[in-house]
Structures are given as C-alpha cells and as structure tokens.
Amino acid sequence: LSRKIYGLQFHPEVTHTPCGMKILEAFISECGCERTWTTKGYMELAINQIKDQVGERNVFLLVSGGVDSSVAFALLSKALGAERVCGLLIDNGFMRKDEVVQIGEYGGLLGRLMVVDASEQFLQAVKGEIDPEKKRRIIGEVFIQVQNETLNQLGFDKGQWMLGQGTIYPDTIESGGTEQAARIKTHHNRVEVVQKLIAQGRVIEPLASLYKDEVREVGLQLKLPADLLWRHPFPGPGLAVRALCAKGEDYLPGWEKIEHQVDSIARKSQLEARLLPIRTVGVQGDSRTYTNPVALIGKADWRMLEKVSTRITNNIAEVNRVIHLVTPARLPRLAVKSCYLTKERLDLLRQADFVVTEQLYKENLSREIWQMPVILIPLSSDGEKESIVLRPVCSADAMTARFAEIPHEILRRISELITGIKGIEAVFYDVTHKPPGTIEWE
C-alpha cells in the first residue's frame, strides 16, 4: 500500500552484479516502487562476500583520495585485516595543496597505504603540451606505466594477489558517466591488464551495487570522517586540466565579427562583452566544442547574468561559455601569456584553489555546491600575471549542471583573497550552465 518494499534482503548474486541489479531495478520500477533500500545489513553481507571471494589471497587497491576508493579500501581492510590489503596512492603532481599528506593521514584510518611520488615523471611527460585531450591521454598512459611498475615490484603476478577497485553502480551502467568519466574509467578500472584479471577472477569490487549516497552510508558505518565522505569529485588528471596552457593568442577565425555580435547582445543589458583569445571545452548534443569564451564586464545580478549568458550561447554558435569579471572592475585588453604545465604554475593554482576551498568550508557551502573547479587562465593586462576563473556548480550527476550562485559578500571576500596572491591579476566567475559549457574547462 505504501508502495515500498520493506525488509527484503537480496542474495549477493543479485545485488553484487550489474546484471542482477538491472533485473531488480526493472522489477521495482514495474511495481511502481522507488528504490529506497538502506545499506543496513549490507556491511555484514559484503564482508562475508569479500572473505568468500578473496579466500587466502591478498588485495591490492589504487586509492585516489576520492570517496569510492577510500570506502572500498576501508571495507576490504575491515573484512580481511589491514595486513592483507595494500592501498596505493600514485602522486601525479596534479593534486591539490596538502592533498597527498591528507590522504596519507586518512590512509592510516583506512588500512595500509603506500604512496608513490611519480610527479616528476608525469610533469616531464606533459612538458610543452597544450591540447587538453593530449594532456589527458599522456597522463592516463603514465598512470598505467607507474601502476604496472609498482605491481611488478610488489610481485603481483607471482603472488596471491587480487586487484580491488572502488567501482560503484553508476560506473557500471552506460548512462552513468560523461564521455570523459568513461574514458578515465578506462584508464583506471578497465584497462587491458584489468580486463584480463577480471577474466581470471582476480578483481574484487565491493561497492559495485551501490549508489554514491549508499557508499557514503557504508563509509559512515565504517566510521570514516565526514569531510572525507563529502569530498567534491576531482578529476583523475587533476589540476593538469585546470591550468590552461597556450602558445599565444588563439582566436577563432572571424573573431572580430563574433565579438561585435556578443557585445551588441551584452550592451542591451548595460554590459560590455569581450571574446577571450583562449579556448575552452563545451558540449553540444553528443559533441565536444572547443572555442573562445566570452567575458562580461559591468555590474549585474545573477538573473541578468544568466539571461545574457543564455542569450549569447543560444544565438552565437561559436560561443560555449560566458564568464563575468568579478575583480578588478575594469580591465584593459587582455594579453595571453605563452605557457605550459610547470610546477610553478601548478603551485599558483594550488594556492588559489586552497583559498577558495577553505572559504567554501568555512561558509558551509561545500555540500550545497556540488563541485567548484578553480581554473588558471594565462590572461592578464601585462601578459605576465595570470587570472582565475571560479566554476561553482549545482548538479545531481554531472551530466547537466547549473552555475551556482554564491552570496555576493562571500564572493567578494574570496576574490580579494585570490587577487592577494602574487601573480594573479583578475578573478572571473563562470555563468554558464552545462550544456553548453562543461563543468571542467578542458
């Protein structure tokens, strides 16, 4: 009568396989019910299943600092004992400020963690690269190399090892990820070597039947700290896809005409618009776009910015993203600095990201805002300094997103702190929904 199924426990054959889950979900939706089961009792089942599946072997697991791999690590360690589970964190040098140290500390709570510093190797590999997709590909390849080297050193092939993964249910269904997310999963969860291991029955994925909120519940039952369980999603290639690189000005052909068109739309709302000579990624239907963003200059409230941004992207096909200048109030024409991924630039971005994240937690906005990339763009009036774009979004699943509206007072404080960092000249705020913009800039 209440349209709920109470108290049913499903055999792990059902809840631990994507196929079983699909059948179960189809059944539930046919009954007109919602899937509202809780994870109570799940731990006991999962622990027994892990023991059964692993037998006398040991488990090796890649840890990223994200929620899923952390919970999987803690669950496996609880089931088998920390001595039999080895967590590996590969430091690619693109992580946030103090993140490796923090994960190291959490690591102690989760199980036995090993940290491999491969940051030099990653930085060398992406040297001189400006194309976002090439950066991603290179980083994915180096990741696999480092992973394989470490597995060999540990004697993975010889020993009695299984590979543990923090794969969750949405990862296993086709609609569950963006193109990029699917690609990174190929790197981490389904590379060839992993596929072979799956065929040999040597992969264990104890969260494969759970949604994100259920993973957090299991994490709570394992007594993991709340700030670990509520961390924002962070892309595998990390800050490497948040520090835009450039060889110089990169305008679309016919940019003057496009700038004139966007400016006439903006002027109707007493704003000024400029096309920026850098490129950013967007999404149109199933395709990826890679074009110049537009900067709006002048005073406006969120509604006005949303209206102008939507009008520009709806009417001018060449534009996929609109940002608003927060500080300073006016800017001369912006010059592009020719730059690549270097430790200095990554440190500059790390500092800006740190300042923003700290404020977000202090102001209790970190749960309301789903994710908040901070982007370093090589633009300034002198062509020496750089600028920052804030990209806070509200979303449920990353497939679509709305730009978040941070209270003005907090935004003012954040931008003052950012412009106080040596080497940063201006702060912009991304006022584009997804689509047509993506959450990340690259």
Which parts of this chain interact with ligand XMP (CB under 6 A)?
Answer: 136, 178, 180-181, 184, 233, 235-237, 371, 398, 434, 438-440
Least separation in angstroms between residue 71's CB and ligand XMP is 17
Q: For ligand XMP, which is the closer residue by CB, 359 or 432?
A: 432
Chain Cα centroid distance, residue 316: 28
Q: For ligand XMP, which is the closer residue by CB, 126 or 398?
A: 398
Least separation in angstroms between residue 18's CB and ligand XMP is 20
Structure tokens at 436: 């047509």
Q: For ligand XMP, which is the closer residue by CB, 171 or 425?
A: 171
Q: For ligand XMP, which is the closer residue by CB, 111 or 238?
A: 238
How many Å apart are CA 125 and CA 33, to the nearest integer? Answer: 51
Contact residues for 211 (Cβ-Cβ < 8 A; gap 6+): 168, 169, 170
Structure tokens at 94: 């693109």
How many Å apart are CA 335 and CA 386, to the nearest integer? Answer: 10
Tokens 């140290």, residue?
101
Q: For ligand XMP, which is the closer residue by CB, 68 or 425?
A: 68
Whether 219 and 74 have beta carbons less than 8 Å apart is answered as yes
Residues counted in the chain: 442
Least separation in angstroms between residue 116's CB and ligand XMP is 19
Q: For ligand XMP, which is the closer residue by CB, 17 or 178?
A: 178
Tokens 């102690």, residue?
108
Least separation in angstroms between residue 236's CB and ligand XMP is 4
Whether 107 and 74 have beta carbons less than 8 Å apart is answered as no
Angle between helices 67-80 and 42-54 (to 10 degrees): 70
Least separation in angstroms between residue 420's CB and ligand XMP is 27
Work out the end-to-end distance of the chain between its first and last CA atoms, rounded to an integer number of angstroms. 49
Q: For ligand XMP, which is the closer residue by CB, 353 or 440?
A: 440
How many Å apart are CA 228 and CA 215, to the nearest integer? Answer: 12
Least separation in angstroms between residue 430's CB and ligand XMP is 11
Contact residues for 14 (Cβ-Cβ < 8 A; gap 6+): 20, 21, 23, 24
Residue 427 class from Cβ within 10 Å (0-12 exposed, 13-18 middle, 19+ buried)? buried
Q: For ligand XMP, which is the closer residue by CB, 314 or 400?
A: 400
How many Å apart are CA 159 and CA 17, to the nearest integer? Answer: 27
Residue 223's CB is within 10 A of a number of other CB atoms, namely 9
Least separation in angstroms between residue 394's CB and ligand XMP is 12
Q: For ligand XMP, which is the closer residue by CB, 136 or 321?
A: 136
Contact residues for 226 (Cβ-Cβ < 8 A; gap 6+): 220
Contact residues for 93 (Cβ-Cβ < 8 A; gap 6+): 118, 119, 120, 122, 123, 343, 346
Taking alpha carbons only, the member of 192, 87, 96 closest to residue 144 is 192
Least separation in angstroms between residue 217's CB and ligand XMP is 21
Least separation in angstroms between residue 4's CB and ligand XMP is 32
Least separation in angstroms between residue 24's CB and ligand XMP is 27
Q: For ligand XMP, which is the closer residue by CB, 236 or 392?
A: 236
Least separation in angstroms between residue 43's CB and ligand XMP is 27
Tokens 């950013």, residue?
280
Q: For ligand XMP, which is the closer residue by CB, 78 or 188?
A: 188
Residue 29's CB is within 10 A of a number of other CB atoms, namely 11
